[in-house]
Structure 1
């Protein structure tokens, strides 16, 4: 079975409870829609979190968020093929997988493209206090070209999109923090996704990032809720 949930930010109690409740196994997969929180806190603390996740009876498939380092910039990560697409993994934690942006995966027979990353509205606070922040948090021009090239090959038709943020038109403005000046928020990723969404034929679009739970047409924003991927029954 393939399951899906939103941002975890290094807090995995609900995932442990979920695995216990549903009796999951290593053959089951849990998609985390970005900001998993396991390439964020520094090597020692990250290792503690990774060891805990590796002990759980499930395989993790993580999308790149904005509150974590890209695994391809970390020396311990390797690449491999998984369900038809490229993922990053560490030999010590083989069941913690990170999707490469722009890759297309076969998940339960669904062609699924991954497009991660977003802008951190708390960037300045994190820089001032020395918290983790990385300048490549948003998709680069190279990543965007790769995504568009992949979609060209597919005739701009996929079954599922896995995102961290949303296309601009679907931003849940009702949960925006009142103290944040939205005119100063870099929304180039959301604007790019808007153009993708306008052109793309798809069945379902999942995203996280906004710490809310909301469905808009075929798009679903997830946070602490869990679901079966695409509602599959198997």
Structure 2
């Protein structure tokens, strides 16, 4: 079993298909998507097209929650919590190779512990609302989710090998990649500020994030987009 990782896909899985073919993957292999997979985007039957495409791919997707997609429980699909690699994931029986992380669950990948912490604020929120595009009021973790994450970290003595998030702690934001002309004072940074409190306290080895559509590494956090890597390799 291999654990691969990449950034946002936003409902376009052509590059993922190519990756699977090049690496001769199977559904025993896992590809982690660091948010905005875009699978639960329309929250209706239109999402079936991309799900059917993925169902025919030789890979299992493990998706962290992003900000441009609905939560699994918002979908009319029959998602259920399913035990997987030591934690719980959201899964549909019809699509067993499409898994969605539950924020705060600690998973075990080839002996390494990994926690998913999804969500972020959409800087294009008001553009989306004014142009009839999808926007999700559950895009950021709520207080109950944050409390669960912190409870889980307490149980783990604030030691987790790998963090899989969508956005990053506020002091690690790639400000050079921000959209030019966007008034940052209007952007809700509550998730990034909360992640900073975790970053400051947590003992971890690796931290991966997506969201910014860049590829960069700074202060122990790697932001990914269309690049790939393999993590948690068996010793």
- TM-score normalised according to structure 1 size: 0.97
Summarize the alignment of residues 20-59 of structure 1 with structure 2, pairs less than 5 Å apart. Answer: 20-59=21-60
**Which of the numbers 161, 177, 180 marks the counterpart of 1:178?**
180
Report the counterpart of residue 130 of structure 2 in structure 1: 128
Report the counterpart of residue 18 of structure 2 in structure 1: 17
Contact 2:121–2:140 (8 Å) recurs in 1: yes
Give 1:42 shift: 4.3
Alpha-carbon separation, structure 1, partners of 2:107 and 2:25: 22
Report the counterpart of residue 121 of structure 2 in structure 1: 119
Alpha-carbon separation, structure 1, partners of 2:27 and 2:211: 26
Report the counterpart of residue 137 of structure 1 in structure 2: 139
Q: 1:71-90: per-residue Cα shift (whole Å, max 9, x none)?
A: 02224211111001110011
Alpha-carbon separation, structure 1, partners of 2:79 and 2:28: 22
Summarize the alignment of residues 192-211 of structure 1 with structure 2, pairs less than 5 Å apart. Answer: 192-211=194-213
Contact 2:43–2:70 (8 Å) recurs in 1: no
Report the counterpart of residue 216 of structure 1 in structure 2: 218
Task: Indicate whether 1:77 and 2:79 are aligned.
Answer: yes
Question: Which ranges in structure 2 are unaligned for 5 or more consecutive residues?
Answer: none
Q: 1:9-62: per-residue Cα shift (whole Å, max 9, x none)?
A: 011111011001010001000000000011113423210000001100000000
Alpha-carbon separation, structure 1, partners of 2:29 and 2:104: 23
Report the counterpart of residue 108 of structure 1 in structure 2: 110
- TM-score normalised according to structure 2 size: 0.96
Give secondary structure in 1 for the equivalent of 2:176: helix
Alignment RMSD: 1.1
Alpha-carbon separation, structure 2, partners of 1:13 and 1:45: 18
Alpha-carbon separation, structure 1, partners of 2:67 and 2:94: 24
Number of residue pairs matched by the alignment: 233
Deviates more, 1:66-75 or 1:135-144: 66-75
Report the counterpart of residue 69 of structure 2 in structure 1: 68
